[in-house]
Amino acid sequence: MSRLIETKDLTHLRESELLALYRAIACELAQSEPHTTAHRYALASLENIRQVINQRKAIAWRHGPKP
- List, in sequence order, every beta strand (DSSP E) within 13-62: none
39-65 b/e (C-beta count within 10 Å ≥ 16 → b):
bebbbebbebbeebbeeeeeeeeeeee
pLDDT band at residue 1, thresholds of 50, 70 and 90? low
Q: Report whether pLDDT(26) > 90.
A: yes
pTM recorded for the entire structure: 0.88
**At 14, phi and psi to the nearest 5?**
-75, 165
